[in-house]
Structure 1
């Protein structure tokens, strides 16, 4: 096998692995990304909207674990306290979503429906539902 053929496949694989591993956990809308990057380059945020944009941008690479009682039963006081805090954080994040996004997340993640079915019931494409989720 010639070196070019060998190197091409391995270089492509290394690039794809790097891109997959460095992508954000949550993909924010381009408008929000650009606004957050502009705010990061300028001075401190001036109002609550700018603070929210920066907080959202900074939090896109962090996981928020689900409550442990949804994963496995736990009976200790510490685990119950952690579960309550996690549940509250998840509920606040869910409540902070726009109505259309909340509806999409509820249908796809919580109810387990397919993107195409949710899209047809909402009158949008499956790709739009995926973006909302």
Structure 2
């Protein structure tokens, strides 16, 4: 006896043409994503998303967003900027294969450890960034260190310093303007 189709199965069958159409339109527009890869990603995301749908009446918009998002993620993570024929790419014998900087060299050393630090051209009078930041008021220097050098958000910095994110933004802009004026 054949199993009774579920709601997810019915939605998958209903929206499969939509998934294929989105995949084809994104693949033809990008030139770095193959149509068959895009179809596979779209169909897999459709199947996963159909299982999450609770209200079939509003499924179309939800499924469309999920499929487009999955294709964009796939394009970002697996798209090749230099177009190489698929068979050659799968063999791995081409000069544009992706390689991690953390992968070992034949000598056993790590790629990233072999890279030299870039030279610092144009430092005014041999002054480093820390010396420049020390010339700013303490609040501005602290905010620039946290936002620019450590990559923290304005809200995170504001929570640390007990001020609003808008105040953090104003102080950061004032500090960066002072640094720019000193470097000019």
TM-score range, shorter chain: 0.3 to 0.5
- Bigger Cα Rg: 2
* TM-score, normalised by the number of residues in structure 2: 0.27
* TM-score, normalised by the number of residues in structure 1: 0.36
